[in-house]
Structure 1
């Protein structure tokens, strides 16, 4: 049995607990603006997931599932107190959903921005076009990593999510950590495409859920949104017409306003 590892996490504020889980190719710093916004009223935690920021590296001795990401964050959940709020973006939103399913009694409400649970698309129709977009992007990125070209991997991955030219327009200081994170790209995809939890399991999640999405997002994350928003029992859907999948990073003020309003109501 692997020894339990502890994640690095940021913490600020006082009040009810809020745990914010970041996207792939990112880290806890993604949530700095939201943490500042919420800290007068909430005790806010932002952990680094496996292989991100200052948390333990992605395990090389086993296949990592979303449940392993949940297990890594257990010390943070415990520190947040019960019940606490969950906020998640992309991969982090998928991890948040799995944490809520595992122990719903400890969650007050969940705010999600486009969870990338691609296994739900595979369950609906294996090999569908919506899933193939990200599947091919990840395969190309993984091949670039195997060839020793982290920058090419990052360009393929970032341009899929943010549009052609997004990588080349990114400041060099930001490019370096994103490129380095690409060593985990095949593992991310395996965890998201192989998650065995069926869509019907989410019907039992009797918690308030804010489901945010971008009007300019790729078909893969919008396809997952179609399935989950039609299944979750207590879901409020907000679509940002001009935003894409990386809305919490590109337009944090818009997304953070909505998240803060949702938390205040619950």
Structure 2
């Protein structure tokens, strides 16, 4: 059996940078970063399972972050090591898991609010700071059970971007999000059941840029409060005016920080 591989966008030449997108998005979210870095780097942006031009998850069991890492493994294996992994939200969680799986392959990590909610639950059993996203996943799942994908998308997008965000989403951008949100329970399961303990992240002895938005959700902030102290070579940057979707809503701000970091590692 031939295992599926992700769709890849690629630009530039030089040291490899691999970008992994957030949920309800695709590799297209990294276009402006690719334009910025391609004069000096070989930039690859991947579509995760069920996103963009990649195949959907092929099993009837719930997906794990280890499965997401296995999906991108063939791409990483073909690159000359070491590489820089860039991830946003769910994609940042996958990047961390990939770095733990093969630390010698990774030159640096660039993370925007990895959503490893399992760390919050392991530190403080519910109720805790992850309850907001836990409730959002449950409500979105209930909407899907009613056959109302639009309502599911509204719950998910409004949680991460604020009340009214879905209503203000341009019509041409809605359908891919509606289609993707069908996987919301799958995403939640992967993030809440990830078994990696906080102590494992002490092993990531590479330069790490950890970016966060001051206007982000309690769940993202809760992960940051636990994870940043566990990373031995981390540079933490908080954007005063941004929220969890900063790499999409204000890519020029986030991308400039990424470029500065890569010039120093």
How much does 1:75 deviate?
Answer: 1.9
Partner of 1:34: 33
* SS in structure 2 at match of 1:130: coil
For structure 1, the 5+ residue unaligned runs are none
Q: Size of the alignment, in residue pairs?
A: 265
CA contact (8 A) 1:90 1:116 kept: yes
Partner of 2:12: 13
How much does 1:63 deviate?
Answer: 2.0
In the alignment, the residues of structure 1 paired with residue 180 and residue 82 of structure 2 have an alpha-carbon distance, to the nearest angstrom, of: 32
How much does 1:60 deviate?
Answer: 3.8
CA contact (8 A) 1:109 1:209 kept: yes
Give a deviation string over 1:174-195, Cα, whole Å, max 9, x none: 1111011011000000000000
Q: Which has the higher mean CA deviation after the structures are superposed, 121-130 or 147-156?
A: 121-130
* SS in structure 2 at match of 1:46: strand
How much does 1:3 deviate?
Answer: 4.8
Q: Is 1:88 the equivalent of 2:110?
A: no
* SS in structure 1 at match of 2:43: strand
TM-score for both structures, normalised by structure 1 = 0.98
Give a deviation string over 1:190-213, Cα, whole Å, max 9, x none: 000000000111011111110000
Give a deviation string over 1:186-244, Cα, whole Å, max 9, x none: 00000000000001110111111100000000000000000011110000000001000
Partner of 1:260: 259
In the alignment, the residues of structure 1 paired with residue 70 and residue 59 of structure 2 have an alpha-carbon distance, to the nearest angstrom, of: 17
How much does 1:31 deviate?
Answer: 0.2
Partner of 1:44: 43
Equivalent residues in 2 for 1:207-218, closer than 5 Å:
207-218=206-217
CA contact (8 A) 2:120 2:128 kept: no
Q: Which has the higher mean CA deviation after the structures are superposed, 101-110 or 56-65?
A: 56-65
Partner of 1:160: 159
Partner of 1:205: 204
The RMSD of aligned alpha carbons is: 0.9
In the alignment, the residues of structure 1 paired with residue 36 and residue 78 of structure 2 have an alpha-carbon distance, to the nearest angstrom, of: 20
In the alignment, the residues of structure 1 paired with residue 157 and residue 100 of structure 2 have an alpha-carbon distance, to the nearest angstrom, of: 29
Q: Is 1:24 the equivalent of 2:23?
A: yes
In the alignment, the residues of structure 1 paired with residue 80 and residue 146 of structure 2 have an alpha-carbon distance, to the nearest angstrom, of: 45
In the alignment, the residues of structure 1 paired with residue 146 and residue 112 of structure 2 have an alpha-carbon distance, to the nearest angstrom, of: 32
Runs of 4+ with >4 A deviation: none
Partner of 2:97: 98
In the alignment, the residues of structure 1 paired with residue 28 and residue 57 of structure 2 have an alpha-carbon distance, to the nearest angstrom, of: 19
For structure 2, the 5+ residue unaligned runs are none
Partner of 2:106: 107
Partner of 1:56: 55
In the alignment, the residues of structure 1 paired with residue 53 and residue 174 of structure 2 have an alpha-carbon distance, to the nearest angstrom, of: 18
Equivalent residues in 2 for 1:188-199, closer than 5 Å:
188-199=187-198
In the alignment, the residues of structure 2 paired with residue 213 and residue 62 of structure 1 have an alpha-carbon distance, to the nearest angstrom, of: 32
Partner of 1:65: 64
TM-score for both structures, normalised by structure 2 = 0.98
In the alignment, the residues of structure 2 paired with residue 62 and residue 137 of structure 1 have an alpha-carbon distance, to the nearest angstrom, of: 22
In the alignment, the residues of structure 2 paired with residue 79 and residue 253 of structure 1 have an alpha-carbon distance, to the nearest angstrom, of: 30
Partner of 1:234: 233
How much does 1:125 deviate?
Answer: 1.1
